[in-house]
Chain A
Amino acid sequence: MIIKYFSWIKEHIGKSEEQIDLPNYITNVNLLINYLNELDEKYNIIFEKKELIKIAVNKTYSSFDTNISNSDEIAFFPPVTGG
Chain B
Amino acid sequence: MSKISPAIKIKIQNEDFDISEETKILHQNNTGAIVNFVGVVRGYDEKNDQIINSMVLEHYPGMTEAEIEKIIIGSYKRWELTGVTVIHRIGKLKPSDQIVFVGVSSKHRQNAFDACNFIMDWLKTKAPFWKLEENNNIKNWVEFNDTDNQALKKWEK
Q: Size range of the interface on A?
A: 10 to 19
Tell me the complex Cα distance, A48–B53, Å: 32
Per-residue 0/1 for A65-83: is the Cβ within 8 Å of any B Cβ (1 yes, 0 no)?
0000000000101111111
Q: Is the CB of B130 within 8 A of A80?
A: yes
Total A-B pairs in contact (CB under 8 Å)?
Answer: 69
Query: Whole-angstrom distance from the CB of A60 to the nearest CB of chain B?
Result: 7
Tell me the complex Cα distance, A79–B58, Å: 13
B interface: dominant SS = mixed
Tell me the complex Cα distance, A83–B4, Å: 28
Q: Is the CB of B60 within 8 A of A75?
A: yes
Residues of B within 8 Å of A77, CB to CB, are 60, 128, 130
Query: Whole-angstrom distance from the CB of A68 to the nearest CB of chain B?
Result: 16
Q: Is the CB of A7 within 8 A of B100?
A: no
Tell me the complex Cα distance, A54–B125, Å: 11
Chain A residues proximal to chain B, CB less than 8 Å: 4, 6-8, 54, 56, 59-61, 75, 77-83
Question: Knowing that A59-B62, A60-B66 are A-B contacts, what are 14 other residue pairs whose CB atoms are under 8 Å apart, sorted by A's residue number?
Answer: A6-B130, A7-B130, A60-B63, A77-B130, A78-B141, A79-B125, A79-B144, A80-B125, A80-B129, A81-B141, A81-B144, A82-B128, A82-B130, A83-B129
